[in-house]
Copies of this chain bind each other. A is one copy, B any other.
Amino acid sequence: MKHYITAICLLAGSLLFTSCDKSSNGGKSDTSTPKFSIAIHGGAGALAKGSYTAEQEAAFKAKLEEATKLGYEMLSKGDSAADVVVAVIKILEDSPLFNAGKGSVITYNGKIKMDAAIMNGRTLDCGTVNNVQRIKNPITAARMVMDSSKYIMFSSAGAESFAAKNGIEMIDKSYFYTQHQIDRWRKTKDSTDASYIHYVDSMAALQSPIISALPEEGEFGTVGCVVMDKYGNLAAGTSTGGLINKKYNRVGDSPIIGAGTYANNKTCAISCTGTGEDFIKTVAAKTVSDLIEFKGMTLDAATYDMIHVRFKEITGDGGMIAVDKYGNISWQYNSDGMFRARTDQNGKIETYIYAE
């Protein structure tokens, strides 16, 4: 109900900063401060309530809060949506808690292969990389593709050559391995190939008591960020290690513009997490944008329609975060939980794992 009221208010005069509340914070709008909003996710793979210890939940929330706080500070001082998306996702990539950058899942043959994408809603410019193994922060490479190439999507060794040539930080493959992901891989892998095991054993994996004690069943931990900056520009970014045990240089939805990542100042910015194939075949992010642009849906109605109606038809699995051109934030998931956080110009940071 709330989003209908919000939509009416916004239609009536959001650009004049009326006294309507935004669904994203419930607080009153400040007519003197430009609005901005940010939402982030750390994957829709959270297990049923009670699966994590209090200490683990606190660790997830602290990291989500740290990333969101940085986003808030940057947005407050007028940084652009794309700059914020990159800086925030870097924090999540650097954390071994999530399946992106350090802490990524391990492929069938013992490698770590990461995908990332970013899109600028003002220009529709975008950049994506897939199957990269040596780029410390894949989101920075995606940004470099967007800014410094006439192309959009680079794959595997080619993406790494482009990144290295353009000054993106490269790092030894060992850096990405954590003992937790190695333990998961050993239990779930469907190959006994000794060379794969030997390869993984050769990695200097991170040992961390909190992370090693995480449940082994967690599925997704893709990270993403959507932003409306104080100039009203939108951007979205997503970064992931993909699916554990993936084969054949499988590419998921994260680096597919329109599937896992999309931004358009006309409508919204979106980042998805879940079974990537479900988001690819439904072109999920662009569907939400088109429901807003072509059907006049509110952001909440459009994300709900995608995750709770359209996903039912294909037994789709996952969630998404979104921000619209008015700064409204929406998130939906059909999993047990989704690691997520948000704030806006009022600075109150909310972090959640399960239902609010």
Contact = CB atoms under 8 A, between A and B. Distances in A.
Interface of A: 119, 124-126, 130-131, 149-159, 161-162, 246-252, 256-259, 262, 276-277, 280-283, 286-287, 290-291, 294-295, 314
B295 A283 contact: no
Nearest to A292: B294
Given A155-B131, A157-B249, A283 B286 contact: yes
10 contacts: A130-B155, A131-B158, A149-B248, A151-B277, A256-B256, A257-B280, A283-B283, A283-B286, A287-B290, A290-B290
A124 B282 contact: yes
Contacts of A157: 249
Interface of A is mostly: mixed
B153 A251 contact: yes
Contact of A248 (B119, B159, B257, B314): B159
A152 to B, nearest CB: 5
Contact of A158 (B119, B124, B125, B250): B250
B251 A155 contact: yes
B153 A250 contact: yes
B286 A290 contact: yes
Nearest to A155: B249
A153 B286 contact: no
Contacts of A247: 151, 158, 162
Nearest to A290: B290
A332 B256 CA distance: 25
Contacts of A248: 149, 151, 154-155, 158-159, 161-162
A156 B159 CA distance: 12
Nearest to A276: B152
Given A155-B130, A155-B249, A150 B277 contact: yes
Nearest to A314: B124
Contacts of A159: 248-249
A309 B274 CA distance: 34
A257 B277 CA distance: 11
A281 B155 contact: no
A294 B290 contact: yes
Nearest to A150: B277
Contact of A291 (B119, B131, B294): B294
A156 B155 contact: yes
